Structure 1
Amino acid sequence: MTHDPGRAGEQRRDLASALKDLRRASGLSGERLAVRCGMSQSKISRIENGRVLPSVVDVQQILSGLGVDDDLARELLALASVANAEYEDVRSSVRRGLHLRQRELAALEAGATHIRYFLPAMPSGLLQTPEYMRTAMSPPVDPADGDVSQAISLKLGRQAVLYDQDKNFDFLLTESAVRWRLCEPLVMATQLDRLVSLSHLPNVTIGIVPLSAQVADAPFHTFTVYGAKLVTIELFTGRLVLRDPKDIDHYRALFDFFRVESVDGDPARSMLGRWADEFRRAA
């Protein structure tokens, strides 16, 4: 069986159907299987009917309750892992409309109370100034054909969520992300000033991992953890969404690992201010 994150919806249906067929073949009722798995009968029913997406742990419990052989269990666990992931390539996002992506992100931010952003490449859209944002959304290689102006307007509108005191935002940036010369020096200086300003919000933490820190792992890619619900991973060619609790726990632990080597508060503001002054002198 081929596991393709781009077919996650279809594979969710395959998984639900396979679990239902296995239970029926075993002769167990949904109620008896629920007892064996330590789940409710209603959850078993919702999983088999495709109304609830089971985590990898859920599938492991069901397969153990059914006494499935190791080879089949590995196949279905692999399917469960992919079913808990979604992938959308950049071109698909552009075809649907860049503005729709901004509305999706706004919905994710509205539905979470604690969001962690790991940013090894550049500041998140929530932190960007309009000038920096326009450059970031107009890459010279394979540029997007969508309505960039409308997307920028919506992205700037999303920034209001930072002032919602019922939410907490942790932004962790590498020094490289902050100092990468994406724009002209004065635009870069203004962008760093923006980071300093936002760092004073009581519900916003902006941490910097300096190049001088010795870190025993590499910052491979940008990711965002939305509470305990899901993780999004940004790639050059698209976005991967993970929903399995094990994946979410892994990325929360990874965020904490890098945060140990970061600085925030006044030390971070001091570094940002110094770098902003360097850009102003360069201008």
Structure 2
Amino acid sequence: MSTDYQQAREALGLRLRELRLGAAGGRLTGTQLATRLGWPHSKVYKLEGGRQTAAPEDLTAWAAAVGQPDVAEELLARLRGFESHIRSWRRQLASGHRPVQDVWNIEVDRSQTIYAWEESVIPGMLQTADYARAIFLRYADLYGSVRDTEEAVRTRILRQQWLHQGGRRFHALIWEAALHALICSPSVLAAQLDRLAGMVGMDTVELGIVPLGASLRIPTANGFWVLDDRLVIAEDWHAEIWLDDADSVATYMRVWTTLSQSAVYGADAQALITRAQRSVNPRA
């Protein structure tokens, strides 16, 4: 977790403690407040200590329980401020995958140059509809989220129009393992590899593949995208991390550049795709 995020969470916790101690009608102990809220007392202390991130409904309930409902908007504003960097999947996917894709499309449309690193899947900008569908269904199962799969697929595919606009450039790096990962059926993967092979040499796409046997200067770690020089979007299992400070953007670009030094391009990349095609369909 980023230092800035944790500091903001701790600052919110201190404000919550201040409100508890200054409750209308007299100071409340943590146990008394927990009883009013119907929570385990440990939740009160975790929120105040910055060890748990409050949900919006937690903050609204806290403000009411201490007799100061008018401060709820202030607390929610504090939460929005630091959650703009750490966007939990639980909250993002509350309405399904389509809204998340809509937000991505807005940011992609604003960008001229995108750098992407994916170690386990084909990047969304290069996915077939069937492959994207398989990915969304797997994540819907994992998070128990709304199954708006077809809407999410259409929105992701719509984003790919960006690749056909002049002046745009997509620099994609993929670990070879992603070419073999059966996150979908073999037939869907075969079609996805055909699509990927067709991207090699496209004037708006630079496709690099890091071979499994390549010497790596750093671990492959998680996937991330750098949009122009203004925004990094990185994925973890609990959240998407959005970073827009210059130091973070520069760090992720150094990571991308370092990984790219182990990649192959052009005919060599095509050979790795062909090897994966033969693996998924030995008769090819």
TM-score by length of 2: 0.69
Q: 1:159 corresponds to which residue? A: 160
Inter-CA distance 84–239: structure 2 relative to 1 (3 Å threshold): closer
Which residue in 2 is equivalent to 1:218?
Answer: 219
- The question of 1:280 aligning with 2:281 is answered yes
Hey, what's the Cα distance between the residues in 1 that align with 2:187 and 2:8?
A: 44
Q: CA deviation at 1:175?
A: 0.7
Partner of 2:110: 111
In the aligned structure 2, how far is the partner of 1:5 from the partner of 1:177? 33
Distance 1:130 1:7 in 2: 39
Give the equivalent residue in structure 1 for 2:85.
86
Does the 8 Å CA contact 2:177/2:212 hold for their aligned counterparts? Answer: yes
Structure 2 residue aligned with 1:72: none
* Bigger relative contact order, structure 1 or 2 (CA pairs below 8 A, ≥6 apart): 1
CA distance in 1, matches of 2:94, 2:103: 15
Distance 1:166 1:280 in 2: 37
- SS of match in other structure, 2:229: coil
d(CA) in 1 for partners of 2:258, 2:137 = 32
Alpha-carbon contact 1:5-1:87 (below 8 Å) kept: no
1:56-71 to 2 correspondences below 5 Å: none
CA RMSD of aligned residues (A): 2.5
**Structure 2 counterpart SS, 1:191:** helix
Query: Tell me, what secondary structure is at the counterpart of 1:232?
Result: strand
**Which 4+ stretches in 1 moved above 3 angstroms?**
2-8, 82-85
Question: Mind listing any 5+ residue stretches in structure 2 that lack a counterpart?
Answer: 16-80
Q: Which residue type is aligned with residue 137 of structure 1? A: F
Task: Report the 3-state secondary structure (helix = DSSP H, G, I; strand = E; otherwise coil) of the residue aligned with 1:138.
Answer: helix
5+ residue gaps in structure 1? Answer: 15-81
Alignment of 1:175-190 (within 5 A): 175-190=176-191
Q: How does 1:162-241 map to 2 (within 5 A)?
A: 162-241=163-242
**Structure 1 length-normalised TM:** 0.69
SS of 1:224's equivalent in the other structure is strand
The CA distance in 1 between the partners of 2:143 and 2:99, in whole Å, is: 20
- Checking the alignment, whether the CA contact within 8 Å between 1:114 and 1:167 is kept in structure 2 is yes
Q: Evaluate the alpha carbon distance shift between residue 5 and residue 282 of structure 1 in structure 2; reply closer, same or farther with a 3 A threshold.
A: farther
How much does 1:200 deviate? Answer: 2.8
- What is the rounded CA distance, in whole Å, between the counterparts of 1:234 and 1:141 in structure 2? 15
8 Å CA contact 1:189, 1:277 repeated in 2: no
1:138, 1:144 within 8 Å by CA — same for their partners in 2? no
AA at the equivalent of 1:177: A
Q: For the residues of structure 1 that align with 2:223 and 2:168, how far apart are their CA atoms?
A: 21
Pairwise CA distance, 1:216: 2.6
The one-letter code sitting in structure 2 at the alignment partner of 1:188 is L
Residue of structure 2 equivalent to 1:60: none
Q: Deviations over 1:67-98 (max 9, x none)?
A: xxxxxxxxxxxxxxx96961111121112442
CA contact 1:117–1:224 (8 Å) conserved in 2: yes
Deviation by residue 1:216-270 (Cα, 9 ceiling, x = unmatched): 3211101000011010111112200011101100111110000011001111012
**3-state SS of paired residue (2:167):** coil
Give the 3-state SS of the residue equivalent to 2:281 in structure 1: helix
Paired residue for 2:68?
none
